[in-house]
Structure 1
Amino acid sequence: MTDPPKPPPAPGGKEASTEPIVFVVDDDVSMRRALTNLFRSVGLEVMAFGSAPELLQSKLPDVVSCLVLDIRLPGLSGLDLQAELTKADIHIPIIFITGHGDIPMTVRAMKSGAVDFLTKPFRDQELLDAVVAAIERDRKRREVERTLANLKSLFATLSPREQAVLKLVAAGLMNKQIAAELGLAEITVKIYRGHVMKKMGARSLADLIRMSETLGIRGNRGVQT
C-alpha cells in the first residue's frame, strides 16, 4: 500500500494551495493513510511522510500548518525531529502521537513546545480538536510576525531624528520635554511627531504607543528590534 498521491507543486517550487496544511509523519503506512483520510474528510490539506528525514528533505509550503508526529520513529525520532525543526527556526505547532507514551517523554515534548501529546488509541475527534487548536495557534503566530515585520519596515523609514522623537514619545515625554532633551524648538518637535505619525500610519497617539510597544520601545529611550 502507498500513500494517497500528493498534488504536484506549483511553478517556482511553491504549493498552489494557501489553505492550512496538516503535515503527518508516521512510519506506519496504515496509520498515515488513516490520518490522511481523517483530515481530508473535514476539508484539510494533508502532506504525509514516512520518516523524519523525508520531511526535512522536502520543501514545505510556507502556509498556516501543524505537524502530527509519531514520537517513535526508526532512525531520527519524533523528539529528534522536533529539535531539528527548532534548530532550523521552523515553528510548526506539533501534536505528538504514540502508542508507548511515558511521563518523561511527554514532559520533554511539551517543554520543547509541543501543543499536545496523544496516546494511541485516541478518538478521531480528540485529534481533530488538537489539530484545529494547533492551526489557530500557527495562524495567530504568523499574524503577529507579519505585524512586527511591517512595523519594523515602517520604523526603518524614519530618519534618525524621527526615531529619536518616537523613542522619547514612547518614554512618556511631552513635546516640551522632548525639545529640551534633543535641543530643538518645541514647534520642531511637533513637526517631527507629525512626520512620525504619518510614516508609521498611526491614527492616534495611543495607536503610536501600541506600535512602539510591539517594536520593543517600552517606556525607555532605546529601541530593541
Structure 2
Amino acid sequence: MHIVDDDADFRDGLAWLLDSRGLRTRCWSGGEQFLADLRPGSDTWACGVMLLDIRMEPLSGLATFEQLKAQGWPWPILFLTGHGDLSMAVAAVKNGAWDFLEKPFQDNQLVDKVEAACREALVLQTESQQRLRFQQALAALSQREREVLNELLQGHYNKNIADHLGITPRTVEFHRANIFEKLQVQSAVELAHLMGRYAPGSA
C-alpha cells in the first residue's frame, strides 16, 4: 500500500504502524513524486490502497486525487485529514474517494479501515481480471458467433435467429453452444448480465 504525506515524521510513524501489523507499505513525500512513478503495469499501479494526506504543498491531496482519477486509478484511496478539512474530505468521498480519517486518530481505527480497504482492493482486482477474461473471450468470437450473440441478446429464439441469418436452427444451436462455452455462461440471461457488466455497448 502507498502512504503519500509531506510530513516525514508522520509518514514514517504510519509506515512503522502498518508494517508492524503485516501491511507492507511504500512511502512518498508528495503527490508529484507518486504521480511521476505511476504508469499502468508498473509496481506502483499494482493492486493496493493509498493513504493520501489532503493538505500538501505544492500539489494538494485533492489535486493528486483528481489526476489519479483522470488516469483511471482503480484502487481505494483513504484521505488523511487535519482539523478543518472535514468538508473537503466529505466532498472527496462523494467524488469517488473510498473514505477518510481525521487526524489524530486511534491506531486500531486506522488499521481497521486500511484492512477493510485492502479487502475492497482485492475484490476490485478479481473483478478486473474477470472483466479482462470476458472481454478477451468476446473479442475471440467469430463473425458468425457475434451475429448469433446479437440475436440472443435481443431475446430471439433459435428459429427466429436462423430465419434472420439464413442458416439452419441446428447451426444456430451449434454457434450458441460455442458462445456459451467461450464466454463461460450457462444461459442467455447470464450472458446478457455479463455483457451489461463487462462490455456495455458491445456486440
**Superposition TM-score tier, normalisation by shorter sequence:** 0.7 to 0.9
**Number of aligned positions between the proteins:** 198
For residue 101 of structure 2, give the secondary structure of its aligned residue in structure 1: strand
Q: TM-score, normalised by structure 1?
A: 0.80
From 190, 205, 214, the equivalent of 2:194 is 214
Q: Which residue of 2 aligns with 1:71?
A: 54
| 1:98 correspondence with 2:92 | no
- Unmatched tracts of structure 2, length 5 or more: none
- State the one-letter code of the partner of 2:116: A
| 1:149 correspondence with 2:132 | yes
- State the one-letter code of the partner of 1:183: G
* In structure 2, C-alpha distance between the alignment counterparts of 1:163 and 1:183, rounded to whole Å: 15
From 3, 18, 23, the equivalent of 1:44 is 23
Q: TM-score, normalised by structure 2?
A: 0.88
* In structure 2, C-alpha distance between the alignment counterparts of 1:214 and 1:91, rounded to whole Å: 20
- Which is richer in helix? 2
Deviation at 1:101, TM superposition (A): 3.4
Q: How does 1:106-117 map to 2 (within 5 A)?
A: 106-117=89-100
For residue 114 of structure 1, give the secondary structure of its aligned residue in structure 2: coil
Deviation at 1:154, TM superposition (A): 0.8
Q: Does the CA-based 8 Å contact 2:5-2:28 persist in structure 1?
A: yes
Q: Does the CA-based 8 Å contact 1:95-1:114 persist in structure 2?
A: yes
Q: Which residue of 2 aligns with 1:29?
A: 8
What RMSD in Å do the two structures reach over aligned CA positions?
Answer: 2.2
Deviation at 1:217, TM superposition (A): 8.3
Identity of aligned residues (%): 33
Q: Which residue of 2 aligns with 1:164?
A: 147
- State the one-letter code of the partner of 1:123: Q
Q: Which residue of 2 aligns with 1:193?
A: 176
From 125, 137, 148, the equivalent of 2:108 is 125
For residue 121 of structure 1, give the secondary structure of its aligned residue in structure 2: coil
* Change over 3 Å in CA distance of 1:223–1:68 after alignment to 2: closer
* In structure 1, C-alpha distance between the alignment counterparts of 2:65 and 2:5, rounded to whole Å: 14
* In structure 1, C-alpha distance between the alignment counterparts of 2:184 and 2:57, rounded to whole Å: 52
Return structure 1 stretches of 4+ with deviation > 4 angstroms.
none
For residue 135 of structure 1, give the secondary structure of its aligned residue in structure 2: helix
Deviation at 1:83, TM superposition (A): 0.5
Q: Which residue of 1 aligns with 2:202?
A: 224
* In structure 2, C-alpha distance between the alignment counterparts of 1:142 and 1:101, rounded to whole Å: 34
Deviation at 1:223, TM superposition (A): 4.6
From 39, 57, 72, the equivalent of 1:89 is 72
* Change over 3 Å in CA distance of 1:78–1:210 after alignment to 2: same
Deviation at 1:103, TM superposition (A): 4.1
For residue 25 of structure 2, give the secondary structure of its aligned residue in structure 1: strand
For residue 49 of structure 2, give the secondary structure of its aligned residue in structure 1: strand
